[in-house]
Copies of this chain bind each other. A is one copy, B any other.
Amino acid sequence: MAQDVARRAGVSTATVSRVLNGSAGVRADKRAAVIRAAQDLGFVANGAARALSTRRFMAVGAVVPNIENEAFVRVLSSFQDRLRRAGYTLVAANAGYDLEDELREATFLLERGVDGLMLVGDIHHPDLHARIARSGIPTVQTFSLSRERPCVGFDNAASASRAANYLMDLGHRRIGVISGLRKDNDRGGARVNGIVQALAARGLRLAPEHDIEISYGIGGGRDGFRQMLAGGEPPTAIICGTDQIAFGAMIEARTRGLAVPGDLSVIGHNDSDFAPFLDPPLTTIRIHSAEIGHAAGDHLIARIQGRPTVQFTEIDAELIVRASTAPPAR
């Protein structure tokens, strides 16, 4: 098809290619002729041929645990933003919190052809890195930090610790945790660990009946808190893995006649859209999704283009204090 353009413009395909790729060294009149011809014909280069020839796919893959999860979507969106600017396409895939599936999806992307890959978290299928290494493309890990591999993320343990310390500073001693499923999820695990450590540092511990693991969502939060109440003395404060879980827990608390924050302080994670509008407005740990996505995108593009990069980027999470937390009742 570049043939057609070449014929119409009275030049060779080599010149067509040069013009369309903006390389210098084409006389102005020929350049104009090519552009005209391409326009007239509505020429659209064949991406596969170009990719085959240049050995560049102009595409970057991303494998996230759940495309429907707000936190990941926000990061993907800002990630894509940066890719597009550099002329790259984002191809996103769903791993569904399962290492086998993640491996399968990543392999699929590798086969399809991508120039770089974004992954979430630290825990992967044992074969994943070998396979990526073999393909020779750069990778960036997001949402959690790593010493071994390039990453853009935050210290999940530290930010959860901060939340726990904040609650303890308010005077809470019985603190509970409702997290999403932690199997194959280093972020969730790290958060709980951070909380456990913070508690330990002040001589407290996370009671097993206050350590609840449920599936994500508002319904999960309700179930989780119900479960927690079933286990003896209730906590005076809880830290939830997401704002949805926190929302569910607050609903359940209200149903049980517990006032938030009077009888129960609640902290969420992610600062979802609705968090400031809950009743009471939810204290939560805000992840700077846009910055993570931008940094990850910039990093990957730079690596693909062979520019120097930093391997470790920490984007601090932030505790947003609203009205769902208060000192415990006397």
Contact = CB atoms under 8 A, between A and B. Distances in A.
In this complex, the interface size class of chain A, counting residues with CB under 8 Å from chain B, is 35 or more
A52 B42 contact: no
A49 interface: yes
Interface stretch (A7-15, A104-112, A298-306, A311-319): A104-112
Copies assembled: 2
A73 interface: yes
Interface stretch (A147-155, A168-176, A225-233, A243-251): A243-251
Given A247-B277, A273-B244, A49 B47 contact: no
Contact of A73 (B51, B68, B112): B68
Contacts of A51: 47-48, 51
A23 interface: no
Interface of A is mostly: helix
Contacts of A59: 91, 112
Contacts of A77: 67-68, 94
A113 interface: yes
A48 B94 contact: no
Closest 5 CB pairs of A and B: A48-B51, A47-B113, A48-B52, A47-B112, A48-B48
